């Protein structure tokens, strides 16, 4: 029976597939994949954390009213002071989030908020137990469960917050003089609850990370050609429009290099489709090298047709880059006895460069590059034309 993840070998090398194959039981990815995941997690949980913070403020006020109903001794004012301090801190955090300009602070604020709630609740319990041993302490477990499940903390953060709450609880109970047997009994209850929460939190983060990797991998496969690893036509059509709008905003030109492998059908007929696939892979590598800048794009449009989209480049430089690409393929000296152009595999390239003032569409620019490619073929192939 095949291993359930044997399919990953078909899509490697790829950072997402490699991470899935190697595993992440310690809930940590390789860099920079870890940074990408954390940015994704922050974006996906932003609204949830805001709602959780507002909910925590309301619940904290409700517990303050609960204190006045249960405790009838002067210590109530010390309990109220603690409640007020934590409430003020939560209000400050809520104000920062409402402004919407401090998204980068969301994760640390979430950690500090749950720590403040937990430690504050532990201190309140300790103060109350000075005069009223029956004051409920179980609310601490609710705080811990919120850290594990409700506010989207990572496992290590949630576990650290919950342990800090337990330490604060033990300190408060010792200060209040709670009998050791009762303290141990209460602590055992909280520890068992935390153990269950920690297991659940670990599994949730593990599945969250796994889903992140699989969804990124699926998106990568949907947007890339499986043989060469280049962008496919669908990805090209979508990203071209985005790059074209960005280039117009920033005042930059774009260049489209449209290319065909010369006499590729004859190559497949003579050497076989498996050998043809290897040629496509090697040419795909050359195109990747030609589009290494962040906003450049190498594309396999289909069959033996390729494209390179170059950002912030003029006509002369685009022609030069196309000529370098053509020569690099010649240097590979891949035998092609079925070619009427040369005894090696060659490529014809059409170049279209469009300035930011041009209001043309993708279809128009593609047509310009296609006409230039036709000219290169008509002139004998293995040439660059514009």
User: Does some domain include residue 26?
Assistant: yes
Pick the catalytic residue: 138, 157, 304, 330? 304
What confidence score (pLDDT) does residue 12 get? 57
What confidence score (pLDDT) does residue 8 get? 62
Same domain, 369 and 256: yes
Q: How many domains does the chain have?
A: 2
Residues 84 and 90: their CA atoms lie apart, in Å, by: 10
Mean pLDDT of 131-144: 90
Q: Is the pLDDT of residue 97 over 60?
A: yes
Q: At what angle do helices 180-223 and 33-44 cross, to 10 degrees?
A: 110
Domain boundary among 167, 197, 221: 221
- pLDDT-above-90 percentage for the chain: 54
Domain boundary among 221, 245, 266: 221
Six-digit token string for 4: 């359930």
User: Does some domain include residue 98?
Assistant: yes
Mean pLDDT of 33-47: 87
Same domain, 178 and 81: yes
Same domain, 239 and 190: no
Please report which confidence band the pLDDT of residue 213 belongs to, taking 50, 70 and 90 as the band edges.
Answer: very high
Residues 364 and 358: their CA atoms lie apart, in Å, by: 11
What confidence score (pLDDT) does residue 55 get? 87
User: Does some domain include residue 1?
Assistant: no
User: Does some domain include residue 16?
Assistant: yes
Same domain, 201 and 308: no
User: Does some domain include residue 308?
Assistant: yes
User: Does some domain include residue 226?
Assistant: no
Return the CATH number at 367.
3.30.70.270
User: Does some domain include residue 365?
Assistant: yes
The rounded mean pLDDT for the chain is 88
Residues 13 and 289: their CA atoms lie apart, in Å, by: 17
Same domain, 245 and 377: yes
Same domain, 170 and 274: no
The residue range of the domain holding 329 is: 233-385
pLDDT in tens, 336-383: 998 888 999 999 999 998 887 776 677 788 888 899 999 999 999 999
Pairing label, strands 254-261, 305-311: antiparallel
Same domain, 210 and 307: no
pLDDT in tens, 225-278: 888 889 998 888 888 888 888 888 888 888 999 999 999 999 999 999 999 999
Residues 278 and 273: their CA atoms lie apart, in Å, by: 9
Same domain, 109 and 247: no
What confidence score (pLDDT) does residue 293 get? 86
What confidence score (pLDDT) does residue 27 get? 94
Same domain, 217 and 237: no
What confidence score (pLDDT) does residue 53 get? 84
User: Does some domain include residue 276?
Assistant: yes
Known catalytic membership, residue 304: yes
Six-digit token string for 352: 């279209």
What confidence score (pLDDT) does residue 160 get? 94
Residues 104 and 117: their CA atoms lie apart, in Å, by: 21
Same domain, 289 and 175: no
pLDDT in tens, 294-345: 889 999 998 899 999 999 998 999 999 999 999 999 999 999 998 888 999 9
Mean pLDDT of 31-51: 86
Same domain, 350 and 309: yes
Same domain, 102 and 183: yes
- Global confidence as pTM: 0.75
Q: Is the pLDDT of residue 49 over 90?
A: no
Domain boundary among 165, 199, 221: 221
């Amino acid at each position: 029976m095949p291993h359930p993840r044997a399919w990953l070998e078909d899509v490697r090398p790829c950072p997402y597939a490699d991470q899935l194959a190697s595993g992440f039981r310690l809930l940590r990815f390789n860099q920079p994949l870890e940074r990408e995941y954390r940015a994704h997690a922050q974006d996906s949980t932003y609204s949830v954390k805001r709602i959780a913070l507002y909910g925590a403020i309301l619940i904290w006020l409700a517990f303050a009213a609960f204190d006045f109903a249960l405790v009838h001794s002067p210590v109530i004012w010390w309990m109220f002071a603690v409640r007020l301090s934590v409430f003020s801190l939560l209000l400050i955090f809520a104000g920062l989030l409402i402004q919407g300009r401090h998204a980068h602070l969301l994760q640390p604020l979430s950690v500090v908020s749950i720590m403040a709630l937990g430690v504050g609740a532990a201190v309140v319990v300790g103060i109350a137990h000075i005069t009223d041993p029956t004051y409920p302490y179980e609310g601490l477990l609710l705080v811990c469960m919120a850290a594990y499940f409700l506010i989207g903390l990572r496992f290590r953060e949630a576990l650290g917050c919950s342990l800090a709450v337990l330490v604060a609880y033990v300190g408060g109970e010792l200060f209040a003089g709670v009998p050791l047997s009762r303290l141990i009994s209460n602590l055992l209850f909280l520890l068992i609850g935390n153990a269950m929460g920690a297991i659940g939190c670990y599994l949730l983060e593990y599945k969250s990370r796994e889903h992140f990797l699989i969804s990124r991998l699926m998106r990568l496969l949907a947007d890339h050609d499986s043989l060469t690893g280049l962008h496919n036509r669908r990805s090209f059509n979508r990203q071209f429009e985005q790059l074209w709008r960005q280039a117009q905003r920033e005042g930059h030109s774009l260049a489209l290099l449209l290319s065909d492998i010369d006499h590729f059908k004859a190559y497949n007929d003579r050497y076989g489709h498996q050998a043809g696939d290897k040629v496509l892979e090697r040419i795909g590598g050359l195109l990747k090298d030609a589009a290494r800048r962040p906003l450049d794009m190498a594309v396999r449009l289909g069959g033996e047709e390729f494209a390179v989209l170059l950002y912030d480049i003029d006509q002369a430089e685009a022609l030069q880059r196309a000529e370098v690409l053509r020569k690099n393929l010649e240097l590979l000296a891949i035998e092609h006895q079925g070619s009427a152009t040369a005894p090696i595999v060659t490529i014809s390239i059409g170049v279209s460069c469009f300035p930011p003032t041009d209001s043309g569409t993708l279809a128009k620019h593609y047509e310009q590059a296609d006409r230039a490619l036709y000219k290169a073929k008509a002139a004998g192939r293995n040439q660059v034309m514009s």
